[in-house]
Amino acid sequence: MRDDFDYDDDFAYSDFDDEDEDDDFGMTFEEDLYLMIREKLRDTIQEYKAQHPALKKLESAVSAFKVNAKNTDDSKFYPLAAKLLSEHIKPLTQDSEEIQEIYDNMQTDIARFKNQRAHGYEGELYLTD
């Protein structure tokens, strides 16, 4: 059960070995999916923000995003967090085509909360060259 989710703290573990990456023992599908979405979003911003200045605004918005849902189990918390994150960045889609593409690709992954068998977005990053 998570009470809140802080963007900066959640990826502090990124310095571990690849062996540990495969160990999601105890992680729910919802948590794993949400962390994957956040990781793709973060990696996309880091990869492309130098080429697309509008992504700096997206980075700031994502960094400021917090969820506070006390006493909510994982099966409800992570889909809610994904939905709120999506709603948080949706207004930025008007700023650039790149943010719109990121948003659209995120929606494909977010749909998997409702249907675990849904295809999801296949790329490792939410933008393509």
pLDDT, tens only, 36-90:
999 999 999 999 999 999 999 999 999 999 998 888 888 899 999 999 999 999 9
Between the CA of residue 98 and those of 2, 82, 91, 112, 129, what are the distances in Å? 31, 19, 13, 22, 10
User: In the prediction, which pLDDT does 24 show?
Assistant: 53
pLDDT band with cut points at 50, 70 and 90 for residue 10: low
Q: pLDDT class for 17, splitting at 50, 70, 90?
A: very low
Burial level of 122, CB count in 10 A (0-12/13-18/19+)?
Answer: exposed
* SS3 state at 51: coil
Would you place residue 129 in the very low, low, confident or very high pLDDT band (cuts 50, 70, 90)? confident
pLDDT of 8 higher than 80: no
Give the Cα separation of 40 and 123 in Å (integer): 9
Is 5's pLDDT higher than 80? no
Q: In a 3-state reduction of DSSP, which class is residue 66?
A: strand
The interaxial angle of helices 74-89 and 54-64, nearest 10 deg, is 150
Angle made by CA atoms 58, 60, 66, in degrees to the nearest 5: 105
Domain locations along the chain: 4-11+30-113
Backbone angles phi, psi at 49, to 5 degrees: -65, -25
